[in-house]
Amino acid sequence: MNDQRHIAITSWYHGVHNFRARIYYDATDAGGIVYHTEYLSIAEHARTEALRSLGFQQRCLIRDQEIMLTVRRCNVEYVSPAFLDDLVEVRTSFDNLYGARISIEQTIHRVGERTAKDDLLVTLETDIACVGKAGKPKRLPKDLKEAIASKIDKKRVLETVV
- Residues with active-site annotation: 29
Alpha-carbon gap, residue 80 to 40, rounded angstroms: 15
Sign of CA pseudo-dihedral 62, 129, 146, 88: positive
Per-residue CA distances from 119 to 109, 113, 151 (Å): 5, 11, 25
Integer distance in angstroms from the first to the last C-alpha of the chain?
Answer: 52
Q: Which has the closest alpha carbon to 24: 83, 79, 91? A: 83
Q: Which has the closest alpha carbon to 85: 41, 26, 38, 25? A: 25
Amino acid at 73: R
Amino acid at 17: H
Give me the residues paired with residue 155 across strands: none
